[in-house]
Amino acid sequence: MNGVTALKPVEQKNAHLSCKVNGEPAQVSVMPCKTLLEMLREDLQLTGTKHGCELGECGVCAVLIDGLPALSCLSLALDAEGRAIDTIEGLAEDAELHPLQSAFADLGGAQCGYCTPAILLTSKALLDKQPNPTREQIREALSGNLCRCTGYQQIFEAVEEAILRISQAEKQAAAGTG
Ligand code: FES
Ligand code: FES
């Protein structure tokens, strides 16, 4: 016996939090050490949010917190308390794809698709704030989202196509023909 006492592992108790996920109230019991990414994927089975570098470098884990893009691998689950979290599972309305989703599908903005959920949500946050962004503003907004497949061109074109589709739908709705 050399006088060194082994430390007992610290027992973590689950914490309880309330938030909204994709517009619905959610109560979650979660280990305080978990990231928001882990809570979404493991506790809520929302696996559309992807798991990448866990270092804040690839952007595949982005979700919206109170409408703004956030890296869920760098956020604690407990940071969701009282906040509205939007994931890719909530982007389509009923059976209808969001115009960003349909434009990405039609123009090849998604290839392997691993980066796509985060890119769609980040683009949505941009369009909610700035409905008619320039190519440069789109590029800037998506600069934290890495894509190894597309070369980005199709992604930028798909966002621009979605802008056109949203604008056409709004005009039709205003004219009562939508
Ligand atoms: S997993 Fe890469 S930034 Fe979060
Ligand atoms: S479509 Fe494959 S990483 Fe972007």
Residue ID of nearest Cα to ligand 2 atom 2: 112
Return the pLDDT at 140.
98
Q: What is the pLDDT along the chain (178 residues), one digit of tens a residue?
A: 456 777 776 677 999 999 999 999 999 999 999 999 999 999 999 999 999 999 999 999 999 999 999 999 999 999 999 999 999 999 999 889 999 999 999 999 999 999 999 999 999 999 999 999 999 999 999 999 999 999 999 999 999 999 999 999 999 999 986 5
Which one of the ligands is nearest to 57 CA? 1
Other C-beta atoms within 10 Å of 120: how many? 26
Phi, psi of 66 (to 5 degrees): 50, 40
Nearest atom within ligand 1 for CA of residue 54: 1
User: What is d(CA 164, CA 10) in angstroms, rounded to the nearest whole number?
Assistant: 55
Interval between CA 61 and ligand 1 midpoint (Å) = 5
Domains in the chain, please, with CATH? 15-90 (3.10.20.30), 99-173 (1.10.150.120)
Could you give the C-alpha distances from 178 to 37, 90, 158, 162, 174, in angstroms and in order? Answer: 38, 23, 22, 16, 8
Cα 38 from Cα 45, distance rounded (Å): 9
Ligand 1 pocket test target in 38, 47, 55 with most atoms within 8 Å of CB: 55
Question: Would you state the pLDDT for residue 35?
Answer: 98
Contacts with 99 (C-beta within 8 Å, 6 or more apart), sequence order: 162, 165, 166, 169
Residue 7 alpha carbon to ligand 1 centre in Å: 32
149 CA to centre of ligand 1 in angstroms:
17
Whether ligand 2 lies within 6 angstroms of the CB of 114 is answered as: yes
C-alpha of residue 135 to centroid of ligand 2, in Å: 20
Contact criterion met (CB below 8 Å) for 123 and 138: yes
> What's the CA-to-centroid distance between 151 and ligand 2, angstroms?
9
Does the Cβ of 36 fall within 6 Å of ligand 1?
Answer: no
In short, whether 61's Cβ falls inside 6 Å of ligand 1 is yes
Distance (angstroms) between ligand 2 centre and the Cα of 108 equals 10
